[in-house]
Amino acid sequence: MENDIIFKPLEFRNLTVKNRIFRSSISGRWDNYDGSGTQARINWEEKFARGGVGAIITSFVPVAIRGRIMPNYATIHCDERIPFWRKVGEKVHEYDCKFILQLSHSGRQQDIGGVENQNLKALSSTSKTEPFHGFLCQAMTLEEIKNTIQDFADGARRAREAGLDGVELHSGNGYLFTQFMSSGINDRQDEYGGSLENRARFLLDVIRAIRKEVGNDFHLQFKISAIDYNNAVTFWEKPGNTLADSIQISQWAQEAGVDAVHVSTGSLFPHPLNPIGDFPFEIIRKTYDTMLSSGVYTIRNYLLFRYWLLRPIFALLWNRVKKSLPPQAIQADEVKNKEMRKLLEANQGRNLNPAAEIKKHVNIPVLCTGGFQQASYIRKAIDEKYCDAVTIARPLIANNDLVHDFAAGKDLPDDPCTYCNKCLLNVIENPLGCYELSRFNNYEEMMEEVMSVFHITQFNQEELSKVSVPLG
Ligand SMILES: Cc1cc2nc3c(=O)[nH]c(=O)nc-3n(C[C@H](O)[C@H](O)[C@H](O)COP(=O)(O)O)c2cc1C
Ligand code: SF4
């Protein structure tokens, strides 16, 4: 382990992380409707800290109620949330794991707005309807832009006051920042639209505002979709930002004061390339109904998901972009199981080439997300300077103890993640967890694991005993 790059600490300007495996953001509906937090979220984050990751990047944390993706995500839109986030941070810190809060705003990519937003159109860079689900939106005024920049700065201040280790701007995957940065989406005529410099202005204004609010000694990283592939599914749209655009934005972001860049892909979420893998129709046909009233194209989509005769049309659109991907960046150690070898080849490390290009042009650490779960592959990615650390979501849902497995000398866990995306498509309606039945002995065992975050812990038993009325 001593000479293993995976276990070598990573030093940022303001933060040291004990190893090179970060838990990437994974949103789930754990919290109360109003965005106040619950014990389930604390239990969820504790799983990964206990499993040995060096740092956890939280799920999407809205800086404003109008910028949420759906209800039941803990927010950071007011000072009342600070004690909850402090509690989560303290729990994670017990395992010498760092905790980075993902400051987020949905913009028009709002799956379920919730009652507070029922009579409001989502805010965006544009008034163009979102092309996949048909979410309606309106272009932000300059005043609304100014207020939203302050919302991010306030969110960063609250994260700092909560004793957390840093913040990440959720500036990838189609959310508000992407809606400003992407040439495929932003159609503004003012100083926040047009040239790349203008489209990047919102991100850079937020970075500067955060630095002004929290100073230079608090960790701040940003996530970027290195390539938009904005017309991957909706082929009539413009393609959006290129890798060259993202390199330039990363350099500007570095100058403005970020400490790291986190490389992802795609100008919507989910996207065929993020999280890459299958699209399980049998799950989405049961869960997409929760979104039927959210957009003007949702009924069309529901029919495509629901009727097996129509599914090939959607599958064709969803999968076509995968055919344009170059071969894998690096070769890992041989995997005996043929099926798993094929899955790893198709899905592991697909953002490494763009990450390496960005890395060549900045001098801050680069994190890369996408399909990592094999120690030999991760080692090569870091050793060969594609990135400085990897961030992992689904393979850690499947195997919370993945890092301990690596420390014990395993190259792959015994039951690897199959990239089936059943966790992802369940999450709009059901608790987040691994729903790949083939990884469990039976359905009951799978449910036990999914429901384990709701188990009462020592902490909330004590809290409950303070408020419960004795019987008899
Ligand atoms: C259920 C689920 C929820 C996710 N939520 C977020 C999120 O809130 N913010 C974010 O930046 N990425 C989110 N992601 C993307 C992951 O952080 C990660 O970048 C992506 O899944 C690719 O990594 P993986 O192959 O290790 O899963 C989510 C992914 C999944 C599967
Ligand atoms: S459901 Fe389980 S196996 Fe499938 S992608 Fe999610 S974590 Fe991986």
Check if the beta carbon of residue 168 is closer than 8 Å to that of residue 101.
Answer: yes
| Pocket of ligand 1 contains residue 24 by CB under 6 Å | yes
pLDDT at 468 exceeding the cut of 70: no
- Mean pLDDT over residues 263-284, rounded? 97
For the CA of 278, the nearest atom of ligand 2: 5
pLDDT at 220 exceeding the cut of 80: yes
401 CA to centre of ligand 2 in angstroms: 15
pLDDT at 467 exceeding the cut of 50: no
The confidence score (pLDDT) of residue 1 equals 73
Closest Cα to atom 29, ligand 1: which residue?
26
For the CA of 172, the nearest atom of ligand 1: 11
Q: How far is CA 449 from CA 135, 398, 399, 422, 445, in A?
A: 34, 10, 11, 15, 6
- Mean pLDDT over residues 222-232, rounded? 97
- Mean pLDDT over residues 274-303, rounded? 97
- Mean pLDDT over residues 33-52, rounded? 97
Q: Ligand nearest 399 Cα, by number? A: 2
For the CA of 398, the nearest atom of ligand 2: 7
Out of 281-285, 336-340, 447-451, 464-468, pick the least confident. 464-468
pLDDT at 126 exceeding the cut of 80: yes
Q: How far is CA 323 from CA 204, 272, 326, 378, in A?
A: 34, 11, 8, 24
Q: What sign does the CA torsion over 188, 189, 194, 199 have?
A: negative
Closest Cα to atom 2, ligand 2: which residue?
434
pLDDT at 458 exceeding the cut of 90: no
**Which pLDDT band holds residue 466 (cuts at 50, 70, 90)?**
low
**Which pLDDT band holds residue 2 (cuts at 50, 70, 90)?**
confident
**Partners of 264 in the beta sheet?**
225
Can you read off the two tokens belonging to residue 351? 């953002």
CA distance 2 to 39: 36
What's the mean per-residue pLDDT of the chain?
95
- Mean pLDDT over residues 243-256, rounded? 98
pLDDT at 328 exceeding the cut of 90: no
411 CA to centre of ligand 2 in angstroms: 18
Closest Cα to atom 20, ligand 1: which residue?
275
CA distance 444 to 450: 10
Closest Cα to atom 3, ligand 2: which residue?
417
What share of the chain in percent tops pLDDT 70? 96
> How confident is the model over 92-107, as pLDDT tens digits?
999 999 999 999 999 9
Check if the beta carbon of residue 305 is closer than 8 Å to that of residue 143.
Answer: no
pLDDT at 463 exceeding the cut of 70: no
Check if the beta carbon of residue 205 is closer than 8 Å to that of residue 140.
Answer: no
Q: Classify 168 as helix, strand or coil.
A: strand
- Mean pLDDT over residues 50-67, rounded? 98
Print burial letters for 400-410: b (CB count within 10 Å at least 16), e (below 16): bbbbebbbeee
Q: Which candidate, 197, 156, 198, 200, places its Cα nearest to that of 178? A: 200
Mutate to test the pocket of ligand 1, among 103, 369, 432 (most ligand atoms within 8 A of CB): 369
Check if the beta carbon of residue 439 is closer than 8 Å to that of residue 418.
Answer: yes
Q: Which helix (H) or strand (E) holds 11?
A: strand 10-11
In the chain, what are the domains? 5-454 (3.20.20.70)
Q: Ligand nearest 437 Cα, by number? A: 2
Mutate to test the pocket of ligand 2, among 23, 284, 397, 427 (most ligand atoms within 8 A of CB): 397
432 CA to centre of ligand 1 in angstroms: 12
- For the annotated catalytic residues, the residue numbers are 175
CA distance 440 to 451: 14
Closest Cα to atom 6, ligand 2: which residue?
423
The confidence score (pLDDT) of residue 335 equals 94
What share of the chain in percent tops pLDDT 90? 93
> How confident is the model over 373-411, as pLDDT tens digits?
999 999 999 999 999 999 999 999 999 999 999 999 999
For the CA of 397, the nearest atom of ligand 2: 7
73 CA to centre of ligand 1 in angstroms: 15
25 CA to centre of ligand 1 in angstroms: 5
Q: How far is CA 452 from the centre of its chain?
A: 22
118 CA to centre of ligand 1 in angstroms: 27
Higher pLDDT: 453 or 1? It is 453
393 CA to centre of ligand 1 in angstroms: 5
| Pocket of ligand 1 contains residue 374 by CB under 6 Å | no
State pTM to two decimals: 0.96
| Pocket of ligand 1 contains residue 25 by CB under 6 Å | yes
Q: Ligand nearest 398 Cα, by number? A: 2
The pocket around ligand 2, CB under 6 angstroms, is made up of 394, 397-398, 417-423, 434-436, 439
The confidence score (pLDDT) of residue 327 equals 85
**Which pLDDT band holds residue 469 (cuts at 50, 70, 90)?**
very low
187 CA to centre of ligand 2 in angstroms: 37
For the CA of 168, the nearest atom of ligand 1: 11
Q: Ligand nearest 347 Cα, by number? A: 1
Q: Ligand nearest 269 Cα, by number? A: 1
CB atoms within 10 A of CB 221: 25
